[in-house]
Structure 1
């Protein structure tokens, strides 16, 4: 196993697989002691950029070729002292960037000449179709980002145009992003190699390894970057990555990424995912505890988030319970009032019933008295008739 581990892998995004679309990312690496180069390019997914997978492949090839030539030229002409001077270094690296952009544009036009744009491709461009047919802005068709790194014995040079992420691990196990942000890269909007000001806007970082020597450099397309909710989880991912591959050979690393990248895409961004890196396994071992700390912090955050979600769920459940309890208590109070009203009505009805029963009893007694009086009257009437009959008989 080499002293340093170099890797570069890409996979078609989960969404692209579902839609039967090509992988628009390209990755590659090159190593020949004392140089190592890694490069990633992410072709734009817009309909107007219908050859972006070709554009990303050309970008990776151009970057590796020019970075290789740059490193060889610095060594051949002993230009290390030039790199030590900030102003001279700026001029030298800007010249390299200009060559990369110019070469990419040349390769794009060579591809168009070799493979003329077909009518069905123009139709895919929709609103820009008429502009393309006039031969204008043709490099847009191949639009892509670029992120690459050159690692030499004395220095490291990282170049970036567009989105994506670069993570370094220093000798103390601290993970950091060396590349300054691009204010024009917002959400799904990114700068590109096809921009007219690409050579001016391309960012770079130069690291003097004699002053600050990283133990790992990892670059990734935004399909990786956007798969993690925050920087802490992204750093934990890269920290754990270093720990898991530091002792693997190339065959096992290939198998590792063949399983990992599709899962990241499926669970995260759904986009094409690409990852390349350079690590020093022996130095990674020395900062193992620090890297494990990043992983532990992310795990603790996940557990805290899970606990917060459960608490939020329980609060909502309690709120719902309290609302239902309030509704039931209101119904109970209403029913109790109805029962109380019914009891009062029952008492009132009982009083009325008692009064009616008393009145009925009086009426019954009155009827009995009247009947008695009637019976007495009938008796007297009968006796009177009988007396009259007897008088008549006596008179006769």
Structure 2
């Protein structure tokens, strides 16, 4: 692969995170959404010296008073004639993030959900393909094909392939694209090519939001570089409600190909990640995800693997916690603070692991507030509470019977 300002060659590709440098979160209606992910080079690519040709991008955006969550994943094809597909996948996720933003602006002008649905099914795919091709042309203008690339291509596929690429340079950048957009009103799923989107309910049941594409046979896939790419997208728009998924996972096909042909084996990762998030919190998944993916690739497909996760939780529990901490802030009576601490301990025991980090963040902010008021006793009480929470989280993790007996299922 030729040098490129956005092509990655490291074992773990740096995600294009539009807002935060780590996982992002936003409050959306009655829910707090958090999104994270990782992209890991495949073990076969490590052995052959190829770069990671997957890409991932996400954003949790609360600007403009309308909270939205974007997640995009892409898989560059990696075949000989797709020798810039690692660049193509990076362009793909950036394009989808841009077009999600444009789509939301257009949604504000629509008068009904049916018109939004029509925009998602008819206009959005055209705009994604148009945006991707425009960015590819821009990259090619700044980084023309070089003789070394043509020589490598000729050595693998013969000199005649050069004419094919010169006639249709998009082939060199071929990539899939998958994405999820969450707004206060709806969830939009969109996909072109192989890869998987899984939805997990609050009880851990796993489902697939999009129909199977019968054209995806063996190693064949639809692609952004196809002439009629816009017509090959699959989309689904559903209203946001309490019945919406509690977790959504998007992965490239390197993950599902690491499992036997039976979909049930692969689908189990959905319930396992959901259980892990509830047991240990999303921070734990975020920390260990690159290792999970690397291990899965080594034991399975050997391909690059990328996984993005969106997790929601109700604001109800955290709102109650925030009110208690606010009451602590309004008193200088240490005895009342101690009483509040006891109530908070009860709440912590009842809370899921994914609430503990937010709990610590809120109380740490209050400790700083106390310190600024020169109330050392209350500041120390708040700091002590953070320690209590940490201990409680360890007790919770060890006392509950975990359904996860290994890091994450691989095969």
- Relative to structure 1, is the Cα distance of residues 93 and 115 closer, same or farther in structure 2, using a 3 angstrom cutoff? same
Aligned residue for 2:14?
Answer: none
Match of 2:29 in 1: none
- The alpha-carbon deviation at position 224 of structure 1 amounts to 0.6
Are 2:114 and 1:84 aligned? yes
* Structure 1 residues 166 and 189: alpha-carbon distance in aligned structure 2, compared to 1, 3 A threshold: same
Residue 171 of structure 1 deviates from its aligned partner by 4.6
CA-atom RMSD, angstroms? 2.8
Specify the alignment match of 2:170 in structure 1: 139
**Structure label with greater radius of gyration:** 1
Aligned residues of 2:279 and 2:402 also touching (Cα < 8 A): no
Partners of 1:235 and 1:57 lie apart in 2 by 26
Q: CA deviation at 1:83?
A: 2.5
Q: Secondary structure at the match of 2:81?
A: coil
8 Å CA contact 1:58, 1:104 repeated in 2: yes
Alpha-carbon separation, structure 2, partners of 1:282 and 1:235: 25
Confirm whether residue 68 of structure 1 aligns to residue 101 of structure 2: yes
Q: How many residues align?
A: 287
Cα drift, residue 244 of structure 1 = 1.1
* 1:261-313 residue CA offsets vs partner (Å, 9 max, x unmatched): 10010011110000002111459969xxxxx99989xx9xx9xxxxxxxxxxx
Equivalent in the alignment of 1:192: 223
CA 1:294 to 1:232, structure 2 compared with 1: closer, same or farther past 3 Å?
A: farther
> So what's the TM-score if we normalise by structure 2?
0.64
3-state DSSP of counterpart to 1:48: helix
Contact 2:199 2:248 in 1 (8 A): yes
Q: Which runs of 5+ in 1 are unaligned?
A: 287-291, 303-396
1:340-351 alignment runs, 5 A limit? none
Residue in 1 aligned with 2:334? none
Question: What is residue 295 of structure 2 aligned with on the other side?
Answer: 263
| Structure 2 CA distance for partners of 1:224 and 1:92, relative to 1, 3 Å | closer
Q: In the alignment, what sits opposite 1:17?
A: 46
Q: Report if the CA contact (8 A) 1:27-1:40 is conserved.
A: yes
Pair 1:101-2:134 in alignment: no
Give the structure-1-normalised TM-score.
Answer: 0.67
**Whole-angstrom distance in 1 between the partners of 2:242 and 2:129:** 30
Which runs of structure 1 show a deviation greater than 6 angstroms over 4 or more consecutive aligned residues? 283-286, 292-296
- Stretch deviating more after TM superposition (55-64 or 172-181): 172-181
Is 1:277 aligned to residue 309 of structure 2?
A: yes
Q: Is the 8 A contact 1:50 1:142 kept in 2?
A: yes
2:208 is equivalent to residue 180 of structure 1: no
- Alpha-carbon distance between aligned partners in 2 of 1:293 and 1:185, rounded to the nearest angstrom: 37
- How far has the Cα of 1:253 moved from its partner? 3.2
